[in-house]
Amino acid sequence: MRYIPVHQLEENMILGQELYDADGRMLISKHTELTDENIAFIAFLGIPGVYIDDEFSEDIQIQEIIEPEVYKAAVQIIHRVFIYSMDEGTDNEEAALQEEVRKIVKATLKQKDVLYNLINIKSYDGYTYFHSVNVAILSAVLGAKLHLSEEELMDLTTAGFLHDVGKVFVDPEIINAPRKLTPEERAMMMDHPRLAYDFLKTNYHFNENVLEAVYQHHEWYNGHGYPRRMEEKDISLLARIIKVADVYDAMTGRRSYHEPYLPSDVLEYIMGRNGMEFDPEVVKLMIAEFCVYPVGCEVQLSDGRHAVVLENHRGTIMRPTIKLFGTEEILNLTDDRSTWNITITKLLM
Ligand SMILES: [Fe+2]
């Protein structure tokens, strides 16, 4: 299986994954032979790329941290929280949400030694619900690697799911504005963490750790964030983790005001704001554990050749093992001495 950006999809390619809509309904099933119509539809949905199966990549396994069914159920439940919770009872939703959180925490704990293959969850894009689920999963992965207890991971993942629920109360025109906001609009936007806190406290039974993490998810490590300009360790660890996960997912995803950035560019951005916007402890972990060249992706080398990433190596995330197109030669950029003059110059996404 390998990842193909949507503009490089061709007729008769075999889809290697299932595709869902914003409500978690399946749109195209795995193993479908793509038609021009399918491809146009995938592009229309704003999905940046998909996994396909072919002979060249049949030995490449993509390790899913979260099963597609769990992901789908999580999107559905978060959709309900965002859309319906103001009119209907919330007890059922809360129980269903906790159930999904438990599954995600169990899955991340089981795989906490796996290098995080960032693209796994990036095929779902562009909707607040997907973003909420992505942030919950990314946070859980980071939290597990930071050795948080299971209980703390439950709180962290719950808060990751709910961090942006306050946006329901902000005019969508402001949220999606592809332009600079006026000072009044910006103030409304910056109120969403507090709105979320009040809404969740009034309508649900989440504990204070969850509520505070939601309230604090836009605070900056250096005190320049909002809404309360908290600093360093005064900000809860859960909020400091969600902060990084939120920015990571927002930047690597498509938004009304920008095209997706490459994982390597986003990691560089995050590193550049280490200690200012982000907690150094969380950033350090991210640099060590997150793959910038995800397994299954096509890369361009400094000598002009193209290859697919086969495996990443802890500590040398810039130098994975790759398989060359054409010769099908396998190169370990970390261990093979003969490859030391080769670098990866581009990730094709
Ligand atoms: Fe937010």
- Tell me the CA–centroid distance for residue 289 and ligand 1, in Å: 24
The CATH number that applies at residue 216 is 1.10.3210.10
Mean of all residue pLDDT scores within the chain: 87
The two structure tokens encoding residue 11: 């007729």
Global pTM value = 0.86
Q: Is the pLDDT at 44 greater than 90, yes or no?
A: no
For residue 9, what are the contacts with CB-CB under 8 A and spacing of at least 6? 34, 39, 42, 50, 52
Amino acid at residue number 179:
R
Q: From ligand 1's centre to the CA of 192, what distance in Å?
A: 7
Region for residue 296 given its phi and psi (left: phi exceeds 0; alpha: psi -120 to 50; beta: otherwise)? left
Q: Is the same domain home to 192 and 118?
A: yes
For residues 206, 236, 122, 3, the Cα torsion angle rounded to the nearest 10 degrees is: -130
Residues 189 and 303 in one domain: no
Separation between Cα atoms, residue 38 and residue 329, nearest integer Å: 33
Q: For residue 123, what pLDDT band results from cuts at 50, 70 and 90?
A: very low
Contact 199, 165 (CB under 8 A): yes
Where residue 24 falls among pLDDT bands split at 50, 70, 90?
Answer: low
CA 106–ligand 1 middle distance (angstroms):
26
Residues 191, 241 within the same domain = yes
Note whether 195 and 317 are same-domain residues.
Answer: no
Scored b (16 or more CB within 10 A) or e, 97-117 reads: bbebbebbbebbeebbebbbb
Rounded to the nearest angstrom, the distance between the alpha carbon of 221 and the centre of ligand 1 is 16
Residues 318 and 280 in one domain: no
Task: Check residue 152 and report its DSSP letter.
Answer: H
228, with CB counted inside 10 A (0-12, 13-18, 19+), is: middle
Contact 200, 165 (CB under 8 A): yes
| Residue 192 and residue 276 share a domain | yes
Q: Which amino acid is at 273?
A: R
136 and 160 inside one domain: yes
Query: Separation of 127 CA from ligand 1 center, angstroms?
Result: 14
Confidence of residue 121 (pLDDT cuts 50, 70, 90): very low
Nearest-5° angle of CA 102, CA 104, CA 109? 95
Closest CA to 197 of 174, 230, 164: 164
Least confident range of 83-87, 151-155, 243-247:
83-87
Say if residue 90 is in the same domain as residue 222. yes
Ligand 1 centroid to Cα of residue 189, in Å, is 9
Give the CATH number for residue 40: 3.90.105.10
pLDDT confidence band for 125 (50 / 70 / 90): very low
In this prediction, residue 277 has a pLDDT band, given cuts at 50, 70 and 90, of: very high
Task: Say how many Å lie between the CA of residue 45 and the centre of ligand 1.
Answer: 23
Q: What is the pLDDT of residues 299-310, one digit of tens each?
A: 999 999 999 999
How far apart CA 306 and CA 18 sit, in angstroms, is 27
- Say how many domains are in the chain: 3
Average pLDDT of the segment spanning 217-230: 96
Is the pLDDT at 257 greater than 70, yes or no?
no
What is the Cα–Cα distance from 1 to 119, expressed in whole angstroms? 13
pLDDT in tens, 291-347: 888 889 999 999 999 999 999 888 788 899 999 999 999 999 999 989 989 999 988
Its domain, for residue 302, covers 298-348
Model pLDDT, residue 47: 79
